[in-house]
């Protein structure tokens, strides 16, 4: 049975961060809600160094931007990293397929929902990095880089680097990584049925 006591026991389970460890986040990550992506491990930084903003696909949506503005303005974050990942369901389907699935399952019109499906993963990472670099809401001295994470290994592939990054993996020349082929849409399933993994 779930109780306050049992929840407290979970919080103090082995592996949980000690409460004495100070939280001084200097980095914000935008990544997919897929739990296979563990950004602090992949980036080699402490869990308390990072604000993690998750959504479907790891896109810089309006709401992601809202959190990033707070991270920079209120918490003094110095770097932002965009991390998309391999085997992401948002690469395998289009906005229209998602809208069609919602209509078929729920009978409602989702035309106004912008799902931000991914048709060119490297291109999306680059455009989201560019969006943040040019955003008037993000301080100009904040370093922005972009990666794709291999969910089998946790390893990152640099898509858009910046020589000013504190992250060794990101401090490469911008555009140094080779472009990956565009993944074709189709073949993916989408369902709103409980228990069906979407991502």
Q: Please give the residue ranges that form the binding site for Zn ion (CB under 5 A).
A: 32, 34, 88, 199
Q: Cβ closer to Zn ion: 43 or 88?
A: 88
Q: Whole-number minimum distance, CB 34 to Zn ion, in Å?
A: 4
* Both structure tokens of 52: 């993690």
Identify whether the C-beta of residue 176 lies closer than 8 Å to the C-beta of residue 118: no
Q: Whole-number minimum distance, CB 109 to Zn ion, in Å?
A: 25
* Both structure tokens of 199: 């991502």
Q: How many CB atoms lie within 10 A of CB 156?
A: 23
Q: Which of 29, 15, 18, 10 is nearest to 167 (CA)?
A: 29
Annotate 94-138 with DSSP letters as a single string.
Answer: -HHHHHHHHHHHH----TT------SSHHHHHHHHHHHHHH-TTS
Q: Cβ closer to Zn ion: 45 or 88?
A: 88
Q: Whole-number minimum distance, CB 169 to Zn ion, in Å?
A: 20
Q: Whole-number minimum distance, CB 190 to Zn ion, in Å?
A: 13
Q: Cβ closer to Zn ion: 86 or 135?
A: 86
Q: Cβ closer to Zn ion: 36 or 99?
A: 36
Q: Cβ closer to Zn ion: 108 or 155?
A: 155
Q: CA 191, CA 179: separation in Å to the nearest integer? A: 31
Q: Which of 125, 104, 119 is nearest to 186 (CA)?
A: 119
Q: Whole-number minimum distance, CB 12 to Zn ion, in Å?
A: 31
């Amino acid at each position: 049975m779930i109780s306050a006591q049992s929840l407290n026991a979970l919080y103090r389970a082995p592996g949980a961060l000690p409460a004495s460890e100070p939280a001084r986040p200097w980095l914000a990550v935008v990544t997919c809600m897929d739990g296979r992506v563990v950004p602090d491990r992949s980036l080699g930084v402490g869990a308390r160094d990072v604000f993690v903003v998750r959504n479907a696909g790891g896109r810089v949506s309006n709401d992601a931007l809202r959190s990033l503005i707070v991270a920079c303005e209120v918490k003094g974050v110095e770097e932002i990293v965009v991390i998309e990942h391999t085997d992401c369901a948002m690469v395998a389907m289009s906005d229209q397929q998602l809208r069609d699935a919602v209509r078929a399952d729920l009978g409602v019109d989702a035309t106004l929902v912008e799902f931000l499906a991914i048709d060119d993963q490297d291109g999306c990472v680059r455009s989201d990095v560019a969006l943040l670099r040019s955003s008037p809401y993000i301080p100009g001295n904040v370093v922005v880089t972009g990666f794709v994470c291999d969910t089998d290994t946790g390893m990152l592939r640099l898509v858009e680097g910046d020589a000013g990054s504190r992250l060794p993996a990101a401090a490469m020349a911008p555009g140094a990584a080779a472009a990956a082929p565009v993944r074709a849409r189709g073949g993916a399933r989408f369902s709103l049925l409980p228990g069906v993994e979407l991502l």
